[in-house]
Structures are given as structure tokens and as C-alpha cells.
Amino acid sequence: MRTKSKPTLYINPGLAGLVLAVALALDAALSLGGMVPAKAALFPNASALFSTLIPKLLHTGAVVAFVSGVILAVVLILLPMRRAYRAREARLVRDRKRLEERSKALQQQAASDGLLGIANRREFERVLDLEWRRAARERQPLSLVLIDIDCFKVFNDTYGHLEGDACLCQVASVLREAAARPGDLVARYGGEEMVILMPRTDLDGASRMAQRVHEMLAEHALPFPASPVTERVTVSIGVSALLPKRHIDAHTLVRQADEGLYAAKENGRNQTVAVPRLRLIASGQTSSLQRASGA
């Protein structure tokens, strides 16, 4: 009689290991939690090991988690903030530079004559006061060349105001070319009158500048057939030079150059007259510097 063989129990090695690991973990957890006395643990040695190891692991994990969190915060928060700050800073620098350039352009526009591209009357007054005080402090001479286009009203009446404006621009260009030193200022004084302010320049130097203006205008030979002087554009020039004093008005230099300009026109135009001496009235009293003829 045949008997049935009993089925053999097959245990998967991997499953056995998993069960063992779970048992160890459960036993350690219960021991740590105080739910099972250490002596009653199924695996006392494992329980003791886990009792000492797990807190260390937890402490180490907390430290690693903290450090990882800091690194994560730096990577995800601080670095983008730093990049955004740098981008904002660069944008602010560009905006500041743009504003400075715009401000400088506005200042230049406010200080220059819109038609001629040279300094206007207000800028001339500002620089005159500045250079006067500087020359008085440094005991250096200050010179002024006052230029007037001869018979300019005849030019306008004959050729029109547009041609008159073109003539003014050409004369201004000649003056800029003649006054090549960085410290010299070419400005429109009013109408067809222009000036060259020359720091650290005596009367001889200013007279040479005036002669240079005459020569350069002759080279350009700007046509003016209707001129009663000659058939080209000419100028009359008054030149003055002073050693400034703080108690003397800076416009004395202008008045003195204007005397020379008036004399140049009276003498037939297209020439320069330098006024070497000073006629000064200060506070209603005649100054001891009155040495001009007729004073």
C-alpha cells in the first residue's frame, strides 16, 4: 500500500533574511521604547547594539540633515538671491551712468548756444567770474578778445537770416579752431558779438590771438560782396588784459575790450585795437589805477 509523502516546507532564503531583519528592528524598537525589558528581549545582544547605535545614527542623521538643509538653502535660496542682487546692482550702475550722461548732456546744452555750438552768455559770465578769482589768487593775467562781425546787419538784409545764421556758424568755427588751448573759452556774447576768454595770457598773447583770427578768416574767404569794407566777411576786435584783483569787478575786463572794439570800428573796421591801460571807477571814487588817457 502506497502512502502519500508529506510535502516538504520550503523557506526562501531572502524571505528568511527579511523576516530576521524585521524581527531585529521590532525587538530593538520595543526595547528602546521601554515596552519590552532589555532582559526579555528575544535578541538581547542585538537590542543592546541597537540601543547604543540608533541614537548615534539618529544624531548623525540629524547633523547630516541640518548640513544638507543649509547646503540646500544656499543652493536654492542664497545663490539665486546673490545673482539677483548682482543683476540689480549692475542695472543700477547702468542707470546711474545713463543719468550722469544725460545730466552732463543737459548741462552742456544749458551752457552752450543752440545755433553756434559754443558757450552762451550765461556760461561766459560763470567762467569769467571763476577765472577772474583764480587769476587773482595765482597772480596771473587774464585776457579777453571781443569780436564783432563787420556790417552784419547789411549781410542779413542782403542775404536773409538763414544765410546770416550760416555766416555766424562759420565764424564761430574759425574761433574754435583759433582758440585751441584747453583753457580758452569761446562764447557768444550777444547777436553777432563773440568772445575768447584767455587765462594766463597777457596783452601780447591776446593780440596774437586776434591776429590769428584775422588771418584764418582771410584764408576761409567767406563771401560778402555787399560789404562796404571788403568783399569777404571780416571782423573788428577789441583786446584787453588785466592782472585781476579781488576788489575789482571782473566786467572791467569786458568794458575795456569793448572800448577797443569801438575804436576798431571807428578806425575803419577789419582790425584790432588793444586797450593796455585800465579806467576803473569803484564805489563812486576814482581809483588810483586811473591812468588811461582823458581820465
pLDDT digits (tens, 9 = 90+) for 165-219: 999 999 999 999 999 899 999 999 999 999 999 999 999 999 999 999 999 999 9
**Region of poorest pLDDT, from 14-28, 168-182, 225-239:** 14-28
The CATH classification number of 121-286 equals 3.30.70.270
Separation between Cα atoms, residue 120 and residue 132, nearest integer Å: 18
pLDDT digits (tens, 9 = 90+) for 24-59: 454 555 444 444 454 544 455 555 555 565 555 555
- Among residues 192, 219, 259, 266, which one is catalytic? 192
Which of 20-29, 214-223, 285-294 has maximum average pLDDT?
214-223
Separation between Cα atoms, residue 283 and residue 249, nearest integer Å: 11
Res. 239: pLDDT tops 60: yes
Q: Which residue has the higher pLDDT, 78 or 131?
A: 131
Task: Please check whether residue 238 is in contact with residue 273, taking contact to mean a CB–CB distance below 8 angstroms.
Answer: yes
Residues 44-75: b if buried by 16+ CB within 10 A, e if exposed: eebbeebeeeeeeeeeeeeeeeeeeeeeeeee
- So what's the pLDDT on residue 81? 73
Give residue 36's region: left, alpha or beta (phi > 0; psi -120 to 50): beta
Q: Minimal CA–CA distance to 242: which of 160, 135, 122?
A: 135
- So what's the pLDDT on residue 295? 31
- So what's the pLDDT on residue 246? 81
**Region of poorest pLDDT, from 183-187, 228-232, 243-247:** 243-247
| Mean pLDDT of the chain, nearest integer | 79
**Region of poorest pLDDT, from 22-36, 91-105, 195-209, 220-234:** 22-36
Q: Which residue has the higher pLDDT, 206 or 82?
A: 206
Per-residue pLDDT band at 72 (split at 50, 70, 90): low
- Say which residue the cell 572794439 belongs to: 261
Separation between Cα atoms, residue 146 and residue 235, nearest integer Å: 10
**Region of poorest pLDDT, from 97-101, 120-124, 147-151, 221-225:** 97-101
Res. 105: pLDDT tops 80: no
Query: What is each CA distance from 280 to 134, 221, 258, 295, in whole angstroms?
Result: 20, 39, 14, 9
Give strand ranges (E) for the chain. Answer: 142-149, 185-190, 193-199, 235-242, 272-275, 281-282, 285-286
Separation between Cα atoms, residue 295 and residue 278, nearest integer Å: 10
Per-residue pLDDT band at 292 (split at 50, 70, 90): very low
- Work out the number of other CB atoms within 10 angstroms of the CB of residue 145: 31
| Alpha carbon 73 to chain centroid, angstroms | 40
Q: What is the 3-state secondary structure (H, E, C) of 223-254?
A: ECCCCCCCCECCEEEEEEEECCCCCCCCHHHH
192 is catalytic: yes
